[in-house]
Structure 1
Amino acid sequence: MSLAVAGARASFLPSSLAASSSLPRLLALPPSHRRPHSSLASPPAAGSRRRLRVRMARTESTGVSVGFRAPEFEVAELLPEPLTGKLWTLDDFEGNPALLVMFICNHCPFVKHLKKDIAKLTSFYMEKGLGAVAISSNSIRTHPQDGPERMAEEAKLFKYPFPYLYDESQEVAKAFGAVCTPEFYLFKKDGRRPFELFYHGQFDDSRPSNNVPVTGRDLSRAIDCALSGQELPFVQKPSVGCNIKWHP
């Protein structure tokens, strides 16, 4: 059972601070693909200045519901952690009351928009007991920049406090039902094994081109609730990002 798994930018402030100043193997879920949405620029009017717009395929997280059990997967399905060579298993997180599994990659603009803040948020909550791991499942046949060597460089550059693993077979992404990057799965302990899905939603409302400051509000509130045993007081919004690059 293994896990051998900026527009304006506001400074990160966890919601908890803002308020006050075993495992059964699960059948792999097939990835659910949604029609990507592109922002297309209309032809400029005569005499008007040309404006460039970034065009990105947008995909929303979907497919699994609260209560979903963290899938088990074999060591052979994942490479070692590129930065350290260590193999990780779900057992490594048995001592954590909650576990954050993130599907990210190197090249996606939606991930680049959040990288520094993801590192800050996870570092803060890992000191409070949160377990965290990031996984890249993108095909290096089409996107070599998302391969293990570049992943190790990214982990070192952004000082990721969590292991950043490569899902070469893409079976882990399929088992989780992951479809986009970034995609966040927050699991909590409920007295049974494995972890139970508590939150499957966005980091916050900020996107690469909407000028909304990055705060991590949605995810940090969810982590606060998971660690304190409270129910979520808000509706979960899906994460939005680039579609996972499946093998051709």
Structure 2
Amino acid sequence: MLLDTPICDFGWKAPDFTLKNPNGDAFTMSEHLGEKGLLIMFICNHCPYVKAIASRLAKDTQQLMAEGINVLAVMSNDYQTVDADSPANMLRFAEQHGFSFPYLVDEDQHVGKQYGAVCTPDFFGFNHLGELQYRGRLDDARLEDDPNREPELVNAMQMIAAINKGPKQQTASMGCSIKWR
């Protein structure tokens, strides 16, 4: 089912969480809330929308991390029902696409529910205070690679890092619904 993300609820405070990656390493959100902010993304392996943007996502997040903006990805889908999203497949997908950010398993789906994540991909850009400032899309290229694309997520996170506020105009991300239990 195709869904769009809700409009950004500016100032909404990020709930803290600790999740593990497929190798069992724990990551706590509050420890990654750096002075230039934090991007939390809800993604998965099987969604055609995530597959279509995966190489751009890897490139854009590498740029953000090089600029001191932290990035965490969360996989909230029920992988018992969708085997393509299993932790073993998360490792393969991350390696295949060159993800350099932690890719975390939301085993009981509580983080996805706390955040109100609705689809993959779903981007949440927070300032250093943990206040939501961006809930838009990756770029304007949609499912196509476009060398002239507008990197809306990168631009928004750079703005948040500089002035703690995100752009007032944001275009919703679009993707497959999260597969809830």
TM-score (norm 2): 0.91
How far apart in 2 are the matches of 1:233 and 1:66? 10
Query: Gaps spanning 5+ residues in structure 2: where?
Result: none
Q: Counting helix residues as a fraction of each chain, which structure ranks higher? A: 2
- CA-to-partner distance for each residue in 1:9-61, whole Å, 9 max, x for gaps? xxxxxxxxxxxxxxxxxxxxxxxxxxxxxxxxxxxxxxxxxxxxxxxx31011
Contact 1:96/1:131 (8 A) holds in 2: no
Alignment of 1:89-238 (within 5 A): 89-190=28-129, 195-208=130-143, 213=146, 215=149, 217-229=151-163, 231-233=165-167, 235-238=169-172
Deviation at residue 206 of structure 1 after TM alignment: 2.5
How far apart in 1 are the matches of 2:114 and 2:61? 23
Name the structure 1 match of 2:10.
66
Deviation at residue 183 of structure 1 after TM alignment: 0.5
| Closer/same/farther in 2, CA of residues 182 and 225 from structure 1, 3 Å limit | same
Deviation at residue 231 of structure 1 after TM alignment: 4.5
Contact 2:133/2:167 (8 A) holds in 1: no
For this pair of structures, how many residues does the alignment match? Answer: 180
- CA-to-partner distance for each residue in 1:132-153, whole Å, 9 max, x for gaps? 0001111112211101000011
TM-score (norm 1): 0.68
Contact 1:99/1:188 (8 A) holds in 2: yes
Deviation at residue 90 of structure 1 after TM alignment: 2.1
Structure 1 ranges of 4+ moved more than 6 A: none
- Aligned-partner residue type, residue 43 of structure 2: I
Contact 2:120/2:176 (8 A) holds in 1: yes
Q: Counting strand residues as a fraction of each chain, which structure ranks higher? A: 2
Alignment of 1:28-47 (within 5 A): none
Please, what is the CA RMSD of the aligned residues?
A: 1.9
Bigger CA radius of gyration: 1
